[in-house]
Structure 1
Amino acid sequence: MTNRLPIRRVAVLGAGVMGAQIAAHLVNAQVDTVLFELPADGDDRNANARKAIDRLLKLEPKPLAVPAYAQLIRPANYRDDLAQLADCDLIIEAIAERLDLKKDLYARIAPHVAAHTILASNTSGLGINELAAVLPEDMRSRFCGVHFFNPPRYMHLAELIPGQQTEQAYLQGLETFLVSSLGKGVIYARDTPNFVGNRIGVFAMLAAMHHAQRLGLAPDVVDALTGPAIGRPKSATFRTADVVGLDTLAHVVEGSAPRLTDDPWHEYLVLAPWVRGLIDAGALGQKSGAGVYRKQGKQIEVLDPETGDYRPAHPEAAGEVQQILALRDPAEKFAALRQSEHPQARFLWAIHRDAFHYAAYLLEQIADCARDVDLALRWGFGWKQGPFEIWQSAGWRRVADWIREDIEAGEAMSGAALPDWVGSIEAVHSPKGSWAPADGVYRSRSELPVYSRQWFPDAVLGEDAGASGNTVFETEGVRLWHVVDDIGILSFRSKQHAVGREVLEGVLAAMDEAEKRFDGVVLWQPREPFSVGANLKQVVDALGEQDFDALETMVHLFQQATGRMRDSQIPVVAAVRGMALGGGCEFQMHCDRTVAALESYIGLVEAGVGLIPAGGGCKELALRAAAATPDGDVFPAIRKSFEAIAMAKVARSAREAQELGLLRATDRIVMNTHEVLHAATMEARALAATGYRPPLKLPVKVAGRPGIANLTMMLVNMREGGFISEHDFKVARYAADALCGGDVEGGSQVSEAWLLRREWERFVELLRDKPTQERIAHMMKTGKPLRN
């Protein structure tokens, strides 16, 4: 791959909230990282940086893939350690948003920066060219902005902002690093205030707040309307403000407003007085325990801006508006919103209209093409579709006419005219690319070589996203297809890729077909999750009919399907991203190798519904424990596996899944979720190239009766202490039996078939227990575990 710069070591300047979390994500990616902060008084000059690193362990969501990675960040200070910068290939500055402070820091570091090193500012409030002007002339070609979104580990978006003198080679090298090494979605932003994501995303929040006040809608009603109901995150508008921090939102709004005096919407770039009142009172949102919302015991309360008092929150849209939002055709939906006289419908039309208007007016100023705006809102703010995609889905020309009518009638937030280009095109996204108004063309995607690893990138509405692959075999439950000729792709067709009879039967048939056609197979789902596990609806239906024979047969079928993948004559590689729970975890455990995105959440969670893994999961963990201790006591490894099953632990990263033994040390971890399929295909090819043969089945050393006794003793203490219920005890005891090989001597060797039989027997016994049936029914009804 070309356009790759050798970034071996990175320095982060500034150990505040963002700087420390950027450093955390760098070590998640196994990048050698130095974190600089002001020197501390006393003997340990690096104490301030160390404290920032320690604080990472207390943050939620967790910035580190595993807590031990905190030790990989090397603390440093500006007084003693600037010489270390000479060994850094990339320096990311993330100090306070003050030009004088940045100018002073740049002057101090300049003598220590190597001639090849890129300097990037994580600023969101200062201009890149303004900052470049204070740098030595020879550094300006290697200087740019790189704006990570908070929290840096989880937010896919990274905005790359070139300066006037930034050389293309450095930009492309940094883009390649951000995309493949750090897993980011990169868009280029012009050097304008708030760049792209915050410029449009924060305006959308302010527009919602403005129209809520104008129409008299309470914050909890606004959040009911502006969350998943319109394709935005559950936190919607006011709850997002609480999560971000009202003071942080105020800093963004009030910091940019003085630089946007020529913005036709400038008068709206201000927070409502009641929000400012909350900030002045120290009610900053989630971090202070109260903001727009607060929790009183189990009750969620919301502030009433009219009275200044909190009341119980009732986040629900009106029935009439819910019916409109349920319409599947976007054109019909938006027509109904615009025609309705209901205040909530008028609100929804207004916030969309003004977001469309604002994005169109600014597009040429802030971004290269419409795709960058839409991806910025999807990757940085969690929208399912960006503003241009939503507009286009509802009818580009018709919605444009409506916006013009509202502008002329004085109903829009601004009287600024829509740009001429809006009327010159039929759609903003097309198979040729996305509209770039500066050049008057449809801009295709970047041809930077790093993107050749993304076979199925995030596509915007109307874009030609490339081939969808060629299907060679398909059933109700699975699809076997391919992109390259030699490696097949096996995908589940069920909702959330749940494992039911149709999937299991499909896997068995598809593997027969795959062995005839391909050199290897990748188990991959075009959309997350990888798999949520067993199809509980089928289980509930069978339980309702007391058809235990069907359930027992299904468990046998599950073991046959996972075993078929393990015994295949061609290599099978799992490509995991998102959730791989229960049966989904068991499927990937039976593959020859797993390639997992860092953000994979893997766990054997059957205990949550009163069951144990029975698709070969217990057997696989027993095998791995035995392999890890060929000449020693197998019990310590079994104990770790037992805790993972009994507590239904879900790894919060692929690296944590390795620690739990749910992924092997030899499994691969990929930072960019869109590169998982490519990497897994390469793994399958590599295995095939070595003359692959399925692993032979050796006897398995097990912990036996002594292991079961030790684990049972742990459980007795937990039960007596009131930490687990009687049924929890029984489920965990059965898990211990399956993992330890049942009633045999410690250190005995048993067959894989023996282990499979133990987990099958224990599983079907638990299925007949009323408490387990209650747990399954409760999970189906509420989505939450029942502790009975």
Structure 2
Amino acid sequence: MTSSRFRIRRVAVLGAGVMGAQIAAHCANANVPVILFDLAAKEGDPDATVKRALAGLKKLEPAPLATADRAAQIEVANYDRDAARLADCDLVIEAIAERMDWKHGLYAKVAPHLRSDAIFATNTSGLSINALADGCPDAMRSRFCGVHFFNPPRYMALVELIPARTTDAALLARLEDFLTTTLGKNVVRALDTPNFVANRIGVFSMLAAMQHTVRLGLGFDEVDALTGPAIGRPKSATYRTADVVGLDTLLHVVKTMTDNLQDDPWHRHYVAPAWLAALVERGALGQKTKAGVYRKDGKAIKVLDLALQDYRDAAGTIAEEVQAILAERDPAMKLAALRASGHPQAQFLWSIFRDVFHYVAVHLGDIAHNARDVDFAMRWGFSWSAGPFETWQGAGWQQVAEWLREDIAAGRAMSDAPLPAWVFERHGVHEAAGSWSASAAKLEARVVSPRQLFPERMPAEVPRATHTVWEGDEVRLWTLDDADGERVPVLSFKSRLSCVGPKVLDGIREAIARAERDFDGLVIWQPQGPFSVGANLKQIRPVLEAGDFATLDRVINDFQQASMAIKYAQVPVIAAVQNMALGGGCEFVMHSPRAVVALESYIGLVEAGVGVIPAGGGCKEFAIRAARAAETSATKDPMNFLQSVFQTIAMAQVSKSARHAQEMGLLKQDDVVVMHAGELLHVARRNAIAMAESAWRPPLPAVDIPVAGRSGIATLDMMLVNMREGGLISAHDYRVAHASATALCGGDIETGTRVNEQWLLEVERALFVDLLRTKETQARIAHMMDTGKPLRN
């Protein structure tokens, strides 16, 4: 029987440039087999171009690869020798240079080799999808579409999916599912308009900022201070973003608007400032050439000064009176104060808000299906905390509309285009029933995958109802009104950053007891923020300063018992992890019978940073895993495992991805990596149910664990002595690391001695409390609490 399900088993990426190579890397991150194509080199190794691109992936920051060895999973190919291999691919993504003629030429070259059911997508940032489709053979057009990844593809959530007139709707839906669940992307369906949604608005926003920078005499660094986190935008703000994107790339996107939007009311502004064109002309393209708007001289950051026609030290700051306005919590009052202020910085901010509001209102019907798509595109593609429509609506729709009308009439806006009539007929664009579509003249409801139980919302969207099963001071046990919710509740921490203190520890044990009595499993998941950053130092510090070490010993014992309760619960306890799982949070994950982890999770035992060792069972778990690994190894030596994990603990290393955490031994190999964080809870609950259905039982207590003992400690100490004598670590660093070595090796006992879990827990707890007694560790904890930074003493 033939399955009707379409599966993307293998992907080909055509073009090994920066974007093509990184798209291939992200497919490898998702365990999707991928072939990366480029032209055969004219001399030497015909695959030299692709091989250079793969080597370059390992040098890029942030890292495109979840683990360095993923590059080896990308197959190398060139069109001359390997075109026939395209027949093995279900999805082909073209990612060559933004030249219509080059793309059409490539389509003709590869078309004969494509399968009749393969999807062919172009990763263009703004060329017309219909014009590109016209260059495809007739048989290919129903399977052709645009798929615009944002740079860097691993980290940027947005993918714009753009159909041509001829694109098959069912194919587009299948591709969206793949992009969402398999590659972990947030998809916006875009119209075939120049630069689509996010770049159209984002580039206009940058052009507006550039115009008002010069008009108001502000410095580039000053504008970046204003347009970064101060207004909910990324740290790279405006001009640093331009440098990161590449000034030549920015010019190309602007030119697309210049050439294709000649009837646009803002057309006269679709031109690069003279200073920007001059930088590109002399090869100062931004970050990739180490000079653009900014330049690094040694450790100093320099910024271009138009008045000086040279670089100067970057030192942009926000004026106190403008800072006070931005501190206002009421968005309506904040925007009113910016508009009323005479300070150039305030006028700059009002101007860029006003002109973007004006722009998106006039163009909504041309560039997007609805206002929600515009706002999500800016959140996901440009990392704005809020899109332009939700910012406008939050500040008072009708009042802001009147301000816009006044400024347009007075000639202060960048265009004299009138606001559409619908702007004054409404009180906003987002409602519980949906978001406004200017082209359809109605609200459009949102359709969300059932795998995303708590998707990102627009302000007016009603969140999904949850029902409290039990609640403590710092934890909440809750469930959902669905079949899975009847079987598996969720435990969430209410403490800041999901820190763990005595009340969280008590809550974990209570939640497990209730799950064992009334449910089939339990998921520990945080709706917002990190899984857990570990122990609550704020609660520990006063006890430590009082010298009450007996109480601290009891708290650590409670921590250990909470970890053991997770491990030996009579129902599966699933750790559903995203963002950070550090210190004690990592130890809870290690004790969970299964973790379901978003790819972008950063996991580590970081206790050395505050002068202690893992004592919530982390060292104990590593000692057990080392013993088990030794049993199946040729040498029967646990040190083969312990040496790498010792370095992980001693150096407080944090994984760079969930897959990296598996490499480090912090996650088990059968823990589940989920690409889309929004699907994490769904997958975690289903895993709990599957384990319950398979008659899962907790492991039997580990009672006969051979430990590395004294010889293991001595082996690990040799690494430390060399580092201490070479001045790489301090005497206290040595003491902390030696304590880690002792805990990992089961204590200062005879090598090969067999112990149980409780012995290992007592060893690590005693070493932990002993370190707390030292003035150096106490200073490290105080410094971390006061500054948020580690102290090396």
The alignment's TM-score, normalised by the length of structure 1, stands at 0.97
Matched to 1:474, the amino acid is E
1:15-54 alignment runs, 5 A limit: 15-42=16-43, 44-54=45-55
Equivalent position of 1:470 in the other structure: 467
- Determine which of 751, 754, 759 is the counterpart of 2:759: 754
**Structure-2 residue corresponding to 1:457:** 455
CA distance in 1, matches of 2:306, 2:518: 66
Q: How far did residue 680 of structure 1 move?
A: 0.5
1:409 partnered with 2:410: yes
Shift of residue 321, structure 1, vs aligned partner? 1.4
Deviation for aligned residue 1:146: 0.2
Q: Provide closer, same or farther for how the CA distance between residues 252 and 546 of structure 1 changes in structure 2, counting only shifts above 3 A.
A: farther
* Cα deviation code 1:50-73 (max 9, x no counterpart): 221111111111111111111111
The 8 Å contact of residues 3 and 172 in structure 1, kept in 2 or not, is answered as no
Q: Tell me if structure 2 keeps the 8 A contact 1:3–1:176.
A: no
User: What do the CA deviations read for 1:648-683 (whole angstroms, capped 9, x no partner)?
Assistant: 111101111000000000100111111111000011
Deviation at 1:170, TM superposition (A): 0.6
Compared CA separation, residues 4 and 216, structure 1 to 2 (3 A): farther
Of 636-645 and 324-333, deviating more is 324-333
The yes-or-no answer on 1:529 pairing with 2:503 is no
Q: Kindly report which structure 2 residues correspond to 1:460-609, keeping only aligned pairs within 5 A, or say none.
A: 460-467=458-465, 469-483=466-480, 484-609=485-610
- Once the two structures are superposed, the pairs formed by residues 5-24 of structure 1 within 5 Å of their partners are 5-24=6-25
Deviations 1:82-137 (A, max 9, x none): 11111111110001111111111111111111110111000113100001111111
Distance 2:7 2:695 in 1: 34
Q: Name the SS for the 2:80 alignment partner.
A: coil
Is the Cα–Cα contact under 8 Å of residues 4 and 173 in structure 1 kept in the other structure? no
Contact 1:128/1:145 (8 A) holds in 2: yes
Secondary structure of the residue that 2:489 maps to in structure 1? strand
The residue identity in structure 2 corresponding to 1:760 is R
Residues 127, 256 of structure 2: 8 Å contact kept: no
Q: Does 1:231 align with 2:232?
A: yes
C-alpha RMSD of the superposition: 1.6
DSSP 3-state at the match of 1:471: strand
Q: 1:701: which partner in 2? A: 706
Aligned to 2:313: 312
Matches within 5 A, 1:242-641: 242-446=243-447, 451-467=449-465, 469-483=466-480, 484-631=485-632, 632-641=636-645
Counterparts of 1:336 and 1:502 in 2: how far apart (Å)?
43
* Cα deviation, residue 43, structure 1: 5.8
Task: Work out the CA distance in 1 between the residues paired with 2:297 and 2:394.
Answer: 42
Matched, 1:646 2:650: yes
Identity of aligned residues (%): 59
Shifted more, 510-519 versus 618-627: the winner is 510-519
Alignment equivalent of 1:682, drawn from 683, 686, 693:
686
Residue range with higher mean Cα deviation, 366-375 or 536-545: 536-545
Measured after TM superposition, the shift of residue 292 of structure 1 is 2.2
Listed one character per residue, the Cα deviations across residues 162-194 of structure 1 (whole Å, up to 9, x for unaligned) are 000101011001001100110010001100110
Counterpart-to-counterpart distance in 1, 2:211 and 2:505: 52
Q: Identify the match of residue 671 of structure 1 among 660, 669, 675.
A: 675
Give the corresponding residue for 1:55: 56
Letter of the aligned partner of 2:330 in structure 1?
D
State the 1:42 CA deviation. Answer: 4.5
Identify if the C-alpha distance between structure 1 residues 4 and 217 changes in structure 2 by more than 3 Å, giving closer, same or farther. farther
CA distance in 2, matches of 1:145, 1:3: 24
Instruction: Give the whole-Å Cα distance in 1 for the aligned partners of 2:513 and 2:151.
Output: 46
Indicate which of 740, 744, 764 corresponds to 2:769: 764
Which residue number corresponds to residue 715 of structure 1?
Answer: 720
Displacement of 1:12 after TM fit?
0.6
Mean alpha-carbon deviation: is it higher for 676-685 or for 223-232?
223-232
Aligned partners of 1:388 and 1:428 also within 8 Å = yes
SS of equivalent to 2:302: strand
Per-residue Cα deviation, 1:689-715 (whole angstroms, up to 9, x for no partner)? 122332221222211111100000111
Match of 2:792 in 1: 787
Q: Is the 8 A contact 1:488 1:518 kept in 2?
A: yes
Which residue of structure 2 aligns with residue 662 of structure 1? Answer: 666
| Cα distance change of structure 1 residues 295 and 771 upon mapping to structure 2, 3 Å threshold | farther
Residue 3 of structure 1: how far off its partner (Å): 9.5
Look up the equivalent residue of 2:292 and give its one-letter code.
Answer: G
Counterpart-to-counterpart distance in 2, 1:153 and 1:95: 18
Measured after TM superposition, the shift of residue 610 of structure 1 is 1.4
Give the deviation of 1:724 after TM superposition.
1.6
Instruction: Quickly say closer, same or farther: Cα 1:168–1:246, change in 2 above 3 A.
Output: same
* Cα distance in 1 between the residues matched to 2:526 and 2:162: 34
Deviation at 1:514, TM superposition (A): 2.7
CA contact (8 A) 2:146 2:161 kept: yes
The one-letter code sitting in structure 1 at the alignment partner of 2:736 is V
SS in 2 for 1:74: strand
Structure 1 residues 579-634: Cα deviation after superposition (integer angstroms, max 9, x where no partner): 11111111111111000011111111111121111111111111222222225211
Partner of 1:156: 157
Contact 1:432–1:464 (8 Å) recurs in 2: no
CA gap 1:336/1:561 in 2 versus in 1, 3 angstroms: same
Taking structure 1 as reference, are residues 289 and 544 closer, same or farther at Cα in structure 2, changes over 3 Å only? farther
Equivalent-residue separation in structure 2 for 1:541 and 1:272 (angstroms)? 58
Higher mean C-alpha deviation, range 644-653 or range 539-548? 539-548
Alignment of 1:101-116 (within 5 A): 101-116=102-117
- 1:732 matched to 2:730? The reply is no
- Residue 567 of structure 1, CA deviation: 2.2
SS at match of 2:486: coil
Contact kept? 2:13, 2:24, Cα under 8 Å: yes
**Alpha carbons 1:531, 1:584 under 8 Å: kept:** yes
Letter paired with 1:473: W
C-alpha distance 305-476 of structure 1, shift in aligned 2 (>3 A): farther
- 1:267 to partner: Cα distance: 2.1
CA distance in 2, matches of 1:563, 1:692: 17
Per-residue CA distance 1:9-63 (angstroms, 9 max, x = gap) = 1111000000011111111111111111001235632222122111111111111
Residues 616, 732 of structure 1: CA spacing in aligned structure 2 closer, same or farther, 3 A cutoff?
same
Shift of the 284–549 alpha-carbon distance from structure 1 to 2, 3 Å rule, reads farther
In the aligned structure 2, how far is the partner of 1:541 from the partner of 1:298?
Answer: 39
* CA deviation after TM superposition for structure 1 residue 4, in Å: 5.4
In the superposition, the TM-score normalised over structure 2's length comes to: 0.96
Matched-pair contact (CA < 8 Å) for 2:587–2:616? yes
CA distance in 1, matches of 2:206, 2:259: 19
Other structure's SS at 1:250 match: helix
Rate the CA distance shift 1:286–1:389 in 2: closer, same or farther, 3 A.
same
Quote the offset at 1:782 in angstroms.
3.0
Q: In structure 1, the residue corresponding to 2:631 is in which secondary structure?
A: coil
CA distance in 1, matches of 2:5, 2:528: 29
Uncovered stretches (5+) of structure 2, i.e. residues with no partner: none
Runs of 4+ in 1 over 4 A off after TM superposition: none
Following the alignment from structure 1 to structure 2, what is the Cα–Cα distance between the partners of residues 149 and 662? 30
Matches of 2:320 and 2:540, distance apart in 1: 34
AA at the equivalent of 2:457: A
Secondary structure in structure 1 of the residue aligned to 2:46:
coil
Query: What is the rounded CA distance, in whole Å, between the counterparts of 1:105 and 1:243 in structure 2?
Result: 29
Separation in 1, partners of 2:229, 2:362: 26
Contact 1:5 1:174 in 2 (8 A): no
Question: Aligned AA for 2:765?
Answer: W
* Matched positions, count: 783
Distance in 1 between the 2:555 and 2:340 partners? 52
